Structure 1
Amino acid sequence: MSFLRRMLTTVVGSGAAVALTLGVAPIAHAEDAVDGARKDLTQLQIEAAEVQRGLETSQQEQANAQRQYDLTTQDLADQQALVESMRVQVGRVATAARQQAAGLGTAKLLFTADSEDSFLADLTVMQSVTAITDEQLTRFAAEGARLAELEDSQASALEKVNAEVSEQTKLSAEYDTKVADATEIVNRLNQQQKDRLAQAQNDAILAQNAALFAANDTNVSRDSLNLPTGSSQGIWPTSGPITSPFGYRTNPIGGYTELHDGVDIGGACSTPVVASWTGVVLSARVEGGWGNRIIVDGGAYKTAYAHLQSMSVSAGQVVTAGQVIGAIGTTGYSTGCHLHYSTWVNGQLVDPQSVF
């Protein structure tokens, strides 16, 4: 009898018990594997979103530094030309002063001047060389100091550009590592576990949607607000392209298929977001992966606006269609400035684009 069989016989005591034990353990283990994968993938998604926000911040900082470099470059060229011109003028003053000190007269200046204008300028210098020299030297020193400041500013801007490029390289590598880690987690699962993982994710999304309007932060009676109950055109919440449509899609960090319960509308952070229908604000708060999210109950039409940079309404407030309620942002599990926009018609989650 093998060592393994002796151990099983001693501990369990019967073949039937052994079969029962061996039949349950893999199922429990499989569930544990799926639950563990979900937790790990959620954490990786949080971390990846944070890295992506850092990458976008760095790209913006690089753009700002590049603009500063370009502006400084033009200013620097103008300042160099000005300082060089003043250097020539001061040199002419110094030359005229030496000629005067050496007893040279106007005839000498006339023959050595390269133009009538320069002769007249030198003659003026000879008449009051001390006062003009002091004035010119003072201004020359000031313009020279400004030139030095511009050179420092340009060097600093270039250093900033290079630093941000280096930071982006590091962050991009870090993001790729997060994706690789997520892929490894999913690949460790068998196909049945992968299907169970995808189902668990989708069940969670649907459950969140089902409970969305059950609890809210206000005691306002919507029945008294005369909210829309039938077909109504509504107002699209913000400008920008659809970067991710409604429906099932591949999770960008986990690689499995999941329900995307709204549309992502791309746009610059701080772009205004308006209410699509008149309604009461059920909540306006930070909600996990959604970041700053506003939920508006418009009777037959309900809407949610997520990843907002800012929120300009509060729970219990009645908003009108077209009223600004917030601004596009990248809060929560977001990988860039956009609005995640969800709609429900008569309690059913629908593709926002099908309503407008």
Structure 2
Amino acid sequence: MSTLPDVETLRLCSMLASAAFGLVFTMLWWRERSALHMLCWAASSFLYALTIIGFGIVGRDAFGLTSLLFGGLASSNILGVSGMRSLEGRSPFQWWMLLPIVAAPSLHGLPRLAIATGHLPLDSVLPQIGDAIGLSLSMILVGCAFLFGRTAYRTAGHRIVGCAQLAYVPAYALSVAGEFGTLRDVELLALLGMLSDQLLLGILNMGLLSIPIERAQRDLRQAALRDTLTGAWNRAGLHEQMGRLIEPGASVLVIDIDHFKTINDRHGHAAGDAILALIGREAALFALEDGGELGRLGGDEFAILLPASCEDALGFAEGLRARLARKTAIVHDWSVSMGLAAVQPGESDFDAALHRADISLYRAKAHGRGRVAA
């Protein structure tokens, strides 16, 4: 009596599990129709379930139909990447996604066509090798896309999905090895693939479900550390950035709007808010070019933390002041004063440098405003 698991039973288990996850993704998409990533993941799960059913119905000798089913397997994997890209606001498809969709059915069908036309012997192992390579290519490309592809924020879910995809590859390699042993008459690729499903299919789909949750949690944490008007770090957010940037040679630039109360009184608070938002936008972009971070200390006062790699902090400050001076669309008669100070050897935080920058700021205001003092 055979001790190997029943492939059909395993196939049924994989089909039911995949269909169940497809229903979950569909319901999540139905609740929020803009969540196209859920629709892609639902399509991926349902396509995989239908492909598994197809393998149970189509005979092994109908290599034309089974080639299409291999294309379906590759497509179900690619839809997972499409969902990830949709979640990040990028185009769901790229040209390289066609590679596994074309390679999997080709590597399955061509060796069998060669056997049918007499170009390969009946006992050739090339069909099994082609199957394993085609599916492995699909898993490797998709797994690497989750693990190493460009993304604004790589979550634990990305890594779980990527590792789960790559974990199928050893099973495909073992199926090829079995073709040279005593198990040649067993559908090893189907058997090992379905066995892998029992362990990895749930892990893979739970990883997908965790990606948008982790992103939402990160966005909430980021929002709590940002000033709502300007988009700059608030004091708590700026404090978190300090630990990353603190080292001798790093600098603090304190920025204060000159006569801000007068601007509010003369032009209205809406104009004052618009200037604050403008500084938050322009100063943050300017600081980012040198690896710096912008924070709002309160009222009309901002601070920029500059890393030690920004060797000309004074030139940076003058460049930013000139950049802001050109922004006259809201109010013509406004300017900023700036105070600059460097972190000294032996200082473990920015507090002392921030105090020195404040003193420099007062000196800039005392000497006529609209200037930088260091």
TM-score range, shorter chain: under 0.3
Bigger Rg, structure 1 or 2? 1
- Higher relative contact order by CA 8 Å / sep ≥ 6: 1 or 2? 1
| Greater strand proportion | 1
| Greater helix proportion | 2
| TM score, norm. by length of structure 2 | 0.27
